[in-house]
Structure 1
Amino acid sequence: MNQEVLKIERKINAEAKRLFQAWLNAEDFSRWFLSGELIGIESVIMDPRPGGKFVINMSLNGEVLPHIGEFITIDEPHKLVFTWRSHATDDRDTLVTVTFTDLSNTTEENTKFSNKNKTTLVTLVHEMLTSDIQIKNHNFGWTNILEGLNQWFS
């Protein structure tokens, strides 16, 4: 079975710590984590610790689409690693790594303006996908999700 890797990057004008925390707070997460215009979030349950599980119930055309996983690494504010399983992975575990790289100029002059000059590169790598259609669907979904995160911080 050929295993595919998807990588998406997005520069977001926000502090890495705040972006990182938005992935672990179920209430905040449900506000920005949307993978497309027709997709909604019905519920989010999170146990944000290594070994902790999550359930994201997305809704599409009246159907609930559960997305489940387990947190493997929580290295605040640098890296999250978790498994990801859904109908779109043929109900197989895949692996997602999200890193947060501070791109801000940290000179003394810029620190006076606090979060206004904070820029973070969010890199999402989704591994263990098994087909071109899985890559295509997840590329669309994760691209929209990172755009939703960007808009939430705008």
Structure 2
Amino acid sequence: MTETLNELELTVSRKIPVPRQKVFDAWLSPRMMEKFMRPGGSDMTSTATNDPVKGGRFSIIMQDAGKNIPHAGTYLEIDPHSRLAFTWESPHSLDDSVVTIDFAELGPSLTEIRLHQVKFRSEAARDGHISGWTAIFEALEETLG
């Protein structure tokens, strides 16, 4: 049986040698988001705005080779230092796509981030998001390191 588009999902995780509070707070700071929300590497830039409260909105415009790629969403859950959940509006995901990020403290200076996203336009879009989130996690670790 073939997966329907609504059933497509992904999970990406990474251990970052940074305290959990610092990692969590980076996801709510527009200034920090601009530094790591660049899955295209150092050649890509981003601008970000947000209202980090439940029901608040965020916007991230990724710029790559002169092309603007808009991303936005609404915060569904903000559990300080433990979990974020938000809708994810991008050209490659369905309008009701949801991202959940769990932050686990593995030690005083070691955090595991586990990101789960559901609902994509296609398997290729899902696979592109796996690559994108993996690159974002790498940029996050570089930014916080």
Q: Secondary structure at the match of 1:64?
A: strand
Stretches of structure 1 that go unaligned for 5 or more consecutive residues are: 105-116
Matched, 1:40 2:31: no
Report matched runs for 1:57-136 at 5 Å: 57-89=61-93, 92-104=95-107, 117-136=108-127
Given the two structures, how large is their TM-score scaled by the length of structure 1?
Answer: 0.86
Stretches of structure 2 that go unaligned for 5 or more consecutive residues are: none
How big is the shift at 1:68? Answer: 0.8
Q: Highest CA radius of gyration, 1 or 2?
A: 1
Is the contact made by 2:38 and 2:135 (CA closer than 8 Å) also made in structure 1?
Answer: yes
Structure 2 counterpart of 1:138, one-letter code: H
Q: Secondary structure at the match of 1:93?
A: strand
**RMSD across aligned C-alpha pairs, in angstroms?**
1.3
- The 1:51–1:93 alpha-carbon spacing in structure 2 relative to 1, beyond 3 Å, is same
Structure 1 counterpart of 2:111, one-letter code: T
In 1, Cα distance between equivalents of 2:54 and 2:64? 30
Given the two structures, how large is their TM-score scaled by the length of structure 2?
Answer: 0.91
Q: Secondary structure at the match of 2:59?
A: strand
Q: Secondary structure at the match of 1:133?
A: helix
Greater strand share, structure number: 2
Deviates more, 1:119-128 or 1:57-66: 57-66
How big is the shift at 1:142? Answer: 0.2
